[in-house]
Structure 1
């Protein structure tokens, strides 16, 4: 199960279809792998959200809560 996709409101079919990371700690979630961190530019194997960016020293959540998942569907919060 991919906790990233589940947290972002993706359907059960999506988040149960893959894991977030493999056994070596590399990102395998296709949604997160495509994301490019706006603070450091990391993507692919090293992809992460702004909250987990090494340049975000205090690990604050920097998201704008849009209420939509990656498919653009509204998500209840």
Structure 2
């Protein structure tokens, strides 16, 4: 199960279809792999969100709730 996709409100068909990282810690989630961190530029194997960026020392959430998932679809509330 991919916790990134589940947290972002994707359907169970999506988040149950893959895992977030492999046994070596490389990102395998296709959605997260396409993301480019706006703080450090990481993408692909080392992709991460701004919250988990090494440059975000406090590790606090830097997003505003948009009401949309990672694919841009509105979340069910």
Number of residue pairs matched by the alignment:
77
RMSD in angstroms over aligned alpha carbons? Answer: 1.0
Q: Unaligned stretches of 5+ in structure 1?
A: none
Residue 75 of structure 1 corresponds to 75
Residue 26 of structure 1 corresponds to 26
Q: Unaligned stretches of 5+ in structure 2?
A: none
* Runs of 4+ in structure 1 over 3 Å off: none
Give a deviation string over 1:23-60, Cα, whole Å, max 9, x none.
11100000000000000000000000001000000001
Provide the rounded CA distance (Å) in 2 between the counterparts of 1:72 and 1:66.
Answer: 9
Please report the TM-score for the alignment, with normalisation by the length of structure 1: 0.94
Question: How far apart are residue 75 of structure 1 and its match?
Answer: 1.0
Question: How far apart are residue 6 of structure 1 and its match?
Answer: 0.2
Aligned runs of 1:1-77 on 2, under 5 Å? 1-76=1-76
